[in-house]
Amino acid sequence: MSLLQTILATLVTLGLLVTIHEWGHFWVARRCGVKVLRFSVGFGKPLWMRVGRDGTEYTIAAIPLGGYVRMLDEREGDVPESLRAQAFNNKPVLQRIAIVAAGPLVNLLFAVLAYWFLFIYGVSSVVPVVGDVRPDSPAASANVESGYEVLEVDGNSVRSWSEVNLRLAARVGETGRVELMLGEPARGYARSYSVPIERWDVDLERESPVTALGLMPWQPEIPAVIGLLTEDGRAGAAGIQVGDRVLKVDGEPVADWIELVHKVQAAPEQPLELMLEREGRIVTLTVVPATRALPDGRSQGYIGAGVSPVEYPESMQRTLSYGPIEALVAGVEKTGQMIGLTLDAIGKMIAGVISVKNLSGPITIAKVAGTSAASGLESFVSFLAYLSISLGVLNLLPIPMLDGGHLLYYAVELIRGRPVSERVQMLGLRIGMVLLFSLMALAILNDLARLF
């Protein structure tokens, strides 16, 4: 994945989601008779500007981390008598609520349409068959058996590992029991398991909820064949080549890629003698794995080599696709599920049940945007939908400076019959600024910690 590809994917991601968010505000404002002075994608100095026939300035600015719609408003300057009826602050409170809520709601609508497209296009997935159960895990304590497909999680049917992960993610931090049903649909066999969890702490940076529960997804045997080498990696420097098959490490046979990875990870800065098969010849080389520090303080070895892609058999692949109406229903359900999961995660972070290390900032967004774009259309559209939901939900939180903070003020005005005082609004603005800038700083620190 090139730097240029990452930059382009990030610009497309942020540009698209910011544009549709601000377009929601813009479109409803125009329908309510509010004069729009500027529609800007990005902050800072304009890189491009055009003035429309309606007098609105349309701009693309230098900093693509947001945008804004500037409307005529008596609180921000003098308004001619002839234009007072078009000022935002002079509109009825219900119209102001509609204008402010439109941005986040359009983000949620975009997610529905994105998922609708994916469900028509067809979502590829791997059948959620358990390959192994990790000892000393919650699943092992419930005697969950390997070799069977996960059919239900807490009474909800699942058809892919992605769906299993989402259902389990909603249980992170909780105490109770996860109800699983596994079986073989082809022969009508199914068995239920009640898996105990207690303040289930999952480090989402290091593992998924599936593996944290102790379920190891089935995967085909992966031969220890070098598929790629990173630039300036220890493997390439030692003379290892793409296509080499690793037969032994320090004289011990290597069964597959997973075993090779374990041996390398266990030997940071320790010389390893590799016996390789290269084009029918036996080659012996020595490589010294570099050291990578883990979040828990331990060290792990790596040599800068990747595996060749391995195809899953057709029996283990599944494509989820629907007709237009069914896809729309599925899109609405998926968006609702993701909204609930986002709100649940926010609540658990506030309660201290899950770590704030899971917050991500612009660096992580850029990395994931680039990776998902490189993985194909399905992955990239899915990421756009997820990020659009996050943007919509976060903007609806009742925090001053966000759309949700304005909606809170207007709700109070609707109930009381008069606006919230300027003094209270300014106090809320200061609190909101401190809170948002603190969260942004924490997210960026988390990004940097993931990098280094």
Q: Read off the tokens for 421.
A: 């005082």
Dist. CA 119–CA 324, nearest whole Å: 9
Let me know if 413 is a catalytic residue: no
Tell me the C-alpha to C-alpha distance, in Å, between residue 307 and each of 35, 99, 229, 246, 254: 58, 51, 9, 11, 14
41 DSSP β-pair partners:
60, 67
Helix ranges (H only) for 276-402 are 324-351, 362-375, 377-395
| DSSP code at position 85 | G
| DSSP code at position 160 | S
Burial class (CB in 10 A: 0-12, 13-18, 19+), 2: exposed
Q: Which residues of 45-55 are buried (b: 16+ CB within 10 A; e: fewer)?
A: eeeeeeeeeee
What percent helix, strand, coil does the chain show, rounded to 5? 50, 25, 30
Helix ranges (H only) for 205-247 are 209-213, 234-237
Q: Read off the tokens for 63.
A: 């900093």
Burial class (CB in 10 A: 0-12, 13-18, 19+), 28: buried
Catalytic residue, chosen from 22, 205, 259, 326, is 22
Torsion of CA 140, 145, 151, 153, to 10 degrees: -10
218 phi and psi, to 5 degrees? -65, 140
Nearest to 301 by CA among 263, 275, 251, 273: 263
| DSSP code at position 133 | E
Tell me the C-alpha to C-alpha distance, in Å, between residue 413 and each of 96, 303, 395, 396, 421: 11, 62, 20, 17, 10
Task: Evaluate whether 139 touches 58 at the Cβ level (below 8 Å).
Answer: no
Tallying the residues shown for the chain, one arrives at: 452
Dist. CA 71–CA 79, nearest whole Å: 11
Torsion of CA 342, 346, 348, 353, to 10 degrees: 110
- Catalytic site positions: 22
